[in-house]
Amino acid sequence: MAKLTPEEEKKKRDLFEAMSPRSQKRIVKKGYEEWDPFMLPKEPLAYKLKQEAKGEKVTLDSGHELHERYFSEHRIPDYSPEYVKGVLEISQGLFRGQDRYQGMYDFSCWYEKWRKQREKEE
């Protein structure tokens, strides 16, 4: 495992201490020093991001992948469960081509342009 900064080491220790005794035991058995709590999970999206980085054409298979991609690219420190739910709903709706979510998206784009225009006028 790569060398951790003091902040990462503290976070690693905090994560470990927050775990159940059973989970802690499993990590100690494998070796605490080798344990990497910051490792990205091996998910289809991670694989697709690697393909995309190589310049290969990648298509998303679901609205859920769109949701995951949004959160992997937008690091927001404190977002509410309602925020996450809203992103999931609109990503799935847009992926499925549902008019309700397309309308929400179109309105959001229009509102952003309108807001910027008003700021310029002031």
pLDDT classification of 50: cutoffs 50, 70, 90: low
Q: What's the chain's average pLDDT?
A: 82
Compute, in degrees rounded to 10, the torsion defined by CA atoms 89, 95, 100, 101: 60
State mean pLDDT over 37-43. Answer: 64
pLDDT classification of 44: cutoffs 50, 70, 90: low
The reported pLDDT for the residue numbered 81 is: 87
pLDDT exceeds 60 at position 86: yes
Residue of 106 and 78 predicted with greater confidence: 106
Query: Cα Rg for the chain, rounded, in angstroms?
Result: 20
The reported pLDDT for the residue numbered 48 is: 56
Q: What letters, b where the CB count within 10 A reaches 16 and e where it falls short, cover 22-39?
A: eeeeeeeeeeeeebeeee
Percent of the chain surpassing pLDDT 90? 31
pTM for this entry: 0.47
Q: What residue segments make up the domains of the chain, in order of their start?
A: 1-39, 44-121
